Each structure stands twice: as structure tokens, then as C-alpha cells.
Amino acid sequence: MSSPLDGITVLDLASVGPAARTSRWLADFGARVIKVGPTPKQSGVQIVPPFYAYGGHRGMERILLDLKADAGRAAFLKLAETADVVIESFRPGVVDRLGIGFDAVAAVNPGVVYCSTSGYGQTGPKSQWAGHDINYLAVSGYLDCSGRNAEGGPALPGATVADSAAGGMHAVMSILAALVARNASGQGQHLDVAVADGAVALMSLYVDEYLATGTVPGPGHNILTGRYACYDVYRCADDRWVAVGAIEPHFYANLCKLIGCEQWLAHQLDDDVQDQVRADFAAAFATRTMDEWVDELGPANTCVSPVATVPELVEDDHFRDRDVIITAHRPGHDAFEQVGFVLAGMDHGQHAPVVRDGTLTDTDDLLAAVGYDADAIATLRSEGAVA
């Protein structure tokens, strides 16, 4: 069976961050992804990720172009003529100054889906601000609604939620929607993917609550942010933790009965006694180890799970059974493992991708495919326009 994005070609100008996650997922859905990097003399402008990052760019091709040189810019536009998607993550305005922005690409390819990813968007007072994951979570209200650290400040998240979901997945969804629209109209479009906007979308449940009711969200303001004992984490006898998410009354009832706290069956959402409920839950969980509790409660409809470490999750028999972790091969090095083709619709049968040496390129083949002969390619190399 073919992959969902067979026949779709993506030019990716990003090296790290949300845009690199975007092209990773598009490739895992079957798109042909061509990474466009700078030539060695320009390489200081991009961060080089470690060999294992973003799936090691498995299944991708690579070309190096000097986009500040006329010949390098012309080569990029030649590649863009037959591309379906272009992804870039420069500061707003940079691609236009380079002559490779949406208007320039659309002039040679009206059907192109051109995705610009940035922290705060292509327009607006903050469009030129620099930022990273923590900044986008901060401005969106995410951090303020998170738990607190020992000093009373917002706790740092354990994953790059903004880069991954508010940026990378945001861009993937927008690109796929634009491709569907192009199938009907034949026209491409310019997508302004702002990570901060995506983070606000992730916060919409709380933002909409405030706008509709005036309730100010924050730690402990409702059931999902720790207001009630039925949705919290608890320390076990071995100093490990379990997560409890017993929101539905029948799950809560099962939990109370199995941990010996039946006295609180009728008080799940009783604000007056939550400190006592939480104290009794904590005392109960402290009597046994995490594994003991999870073995009993996990399959018993209580919404209890272990707080797993990364070393534990990669060995988890459930994830192993679902091929979440796969083996990759790196020529000249030992095989290593990485997160596999995990999202629904990807080809989960791919078990042994090859991660190439990051210094290798496909420059000659890619240029030849769009009409450059050997002499022209040699000239471009001698000029430093490609590598």
C-alpha cells in the first residue's frame, strides 16, 4: 500500500526547530523531502543538529546552495518549479530579501504551498522578536496555567510542546489542508505558521472559558489543573510516582475502593474537603511501590499510570509491541534505536531506516534532474554556489 504523501515533494530550508519537525513528519507520511542547506562558507548561519535528531533525517535528500549568490538562488527556484511544498523558518522578511519568498516561488510554480514558520508570525508588533519554546508557552498562557516550582514560579515543561505541537504539527495540518485545497483550485498559498498562535490554540479550552465566563485560569482552577485530588500525581513507597486521572465518577469510585479510600466516594468534587482527600490518597499510595500500584490499578479502570522515565518508556512492552521504537542503521557505525513511524497513517512496517552521513549530499543528482548538465554543475561548484 502506498504512503499517503507519495508523489509530494517538499523543499525544506530549516535545520532545527518546528519546521524541521514538520518536514520529518511529512517524510514519515511518505513525502519526498529535500533538505536545502547552506554551502560550507555560509554554514555558520545554521545550527547543525546531532546525527540522531529529527530521526537522523532518515529517508531525506540533501542539497547545499548559496542562496545569496545569483546562481544559487536560480538553482533553488529551478528546484521549486516542480516542488509541491516549500518550508522556511527564517526571520520574517529574510526570504523576500534573498529573492526566494512566496511571490518569487509562486511566479515559477503557482501551485506551490509555501509554509513560513516563525515564532510570532509574519506580521504584528512581535513579528521580529527572537524566541524559543519557553517564550511561546509563556505568551500563550500555558506556563501561567502550569504547576509551580519550588520558588513559586511556573514549572518548566518536560518537552518542547510549542515547537512540536504548536509549531510542527500546526504546520503539518496547515500544509495538508492547503494541498487538499490545491487539488480543487490548482492554486497554492502562503501559510503564515506562528508558533505563538499555535500555542494559543492549544490553550483554547482555558482561553474560551475566560472569555465566556470571566474565570481566570491558573494552577488548580479546574479539574485538569489540579483542583481535585482525583487528577494529580502521588508518590509511592519507592519514591516513584503515579499519575491519577480519574475524572469520570465510575473511574473515581473504582480508585477509591481499590486504594482503601471509600470514605471519599461521595466527595469527588467537594471543594471543602479536597485537602483531606488528597492527604488520604497520598497516604494510601505511599504504602506500596509504583509497580505494585500500577500492576493492580492500571487494568482496573482507574485511570492510573506510571510516571515513566525515558529509559523505561523505550523498553515498555506496549510501545515495543506497537513499533514505537525501531532500529536504525548508520553506515560505518553501530545500529541504534529511535522513535519510529508512530503517527496514524504512517507506514508502520518500516523497521530499519538508514541514517546517512550528514556530510553527504545529493546535489549533483538533484540539479541534473531539473536540467543542469555536468558542465553547468561543475561551474556552480567552482563558483561556490552549490556544494
Residue 117 clears pLDDT 60, i.e. is over it? yes
65 phi and psi angles, rounded to 5 deg: -135, 145
Q: What is the pLDDT of residues 332-356, one digit of tens each?
A: 999 999 999 999 999 877 778 999 9
What are the percentages of helix, strand and coil residues in the chain, rounded to 5? 40, 15, 45
> Is 132 noted as a catalytic residue in this protein?
yes
Mean pLDDT of the chain: 95
Once rounded to an integer, what is the mean pLDDT over residues 146-170?
93
- Residue 167 and residue 87 in contact, taking contact as beta carbons nearer than 8 Å: no
Once rounded to an integer, what is the mean pLDDT over residues 317-344?
94
| Residue at grid coordinates 475524572 | 247
Spot the catalytic one: 28, 66, 163, 232: 163
Residue 179 clears pLDDT 60, i.e. is over it? yes
348 phi and psi angles, rounded to 5 deg: -70, -5
Once rounded to an integer, what is the mean pLDDT over residues 271-289?
98
Q: What is the pLDDT of residues 189-217, one digit of tens each?
A: 999 999 999 999 999 999 999 999 999 99
Which pLDDT score, from 0 to 100, does residue 49 have? 87
87 phi and psi angles, rounded to 5 deg: -120, 130
Residue 43 clears pLDDT 90, i.e. is over it? no
In DSSP notation, 175-213 reads: HHHHHHHHHHHS--EEEEEEHHHHHHHHTHHHHHHHHHH
Show Cβ contacts of residue 9 under 8 Å, excluding neighbours closer than 6 positions. 31, 32, 34, 82, 83, 84, 85
Which pLDDT score, from 0 to 100, does residue 376 have? 97
Residue 42 clears pLDDT 80, i.e. is over it? no
- Residue 195 and residue 162 in contact, taking contact as beta carbons nearer than 8 Å: yes
Once rounded to an integer, what is the mean pLDDT over residues 43-72?
88
**Can you give the residue ranges of every domain in the chain?**
9-202+358-383, 223-307, 316-356
Written out in words, the top-level CATH class of the domain with range 9-202+358-383 is: alpha beta
CA distance 361 to 61: 7
Q: What is the pLDDT of residues 61-113, one digit of tens each?
A: 999 999 999 999 999 999 999 999 999 999 999 999 999 999 999 999 999 99
Q: What is the three-class DSSP state of 34?
A: strand
Residue 46 clears pLDDT 70, i.e. is over it? no
Spot the catalytic one: 70, 132, 295, 333: 132
In DSSP notation, 37-93 reads: EE-GGGGGGS----TTGGGGGTT-EEEEE-TTSHHHHHHHHHHHTT-SEEEE-SSTT
Residue 44 clears pLDDT 70, i.e. is over it? no
Q: What is the pLDDT of residues 367-380, one digit of tens each?
A: 999 999 999 999 99
The set of cell numbers assigned to 3 is: 504512503
Which pLDDT score, from 0 to 100, does residue 47 have? 73
Which pLDDT score, from 0 to 100, does residue 60 have? 96
Once rounded to an integer, what is the mean pLDDT over residues 258-276?
98
| More confident position, 151 or 10 | 10
Which pLDDT score, from 0 to 100, does residue 229 have? 98
CATH topology of domain 223-307: formyl-coa transferase, domain 3 (3.30.1540)
Which pLDDT score, from 0 to 100, does residue 48 have? 81
Domains 9-202+358-383 and 223-307 share a fold: no
Q: What is the three-class DSSP state of 233?
A: strand
Other residues' Cβ atoms within 10 Å of the Cβ of residue 333: 10
Residue 298 clears pLDDT 90, i.e. is over it? yes
> Is 96 noted as a catalytic residue in this protein?
no
Split at pLDDT 50, 70, 90, the class of 272 is very high
Residue 1 clears pLDDT 70, i.e. is over it? no
Split at pLDDT 50, 70, 90, the class of 359 is confident
Split at pLDDT 50, 70, 90, the class of 326 is very high
In DSSP notation, 35-49 reads: EEEE-GGGGGGS---
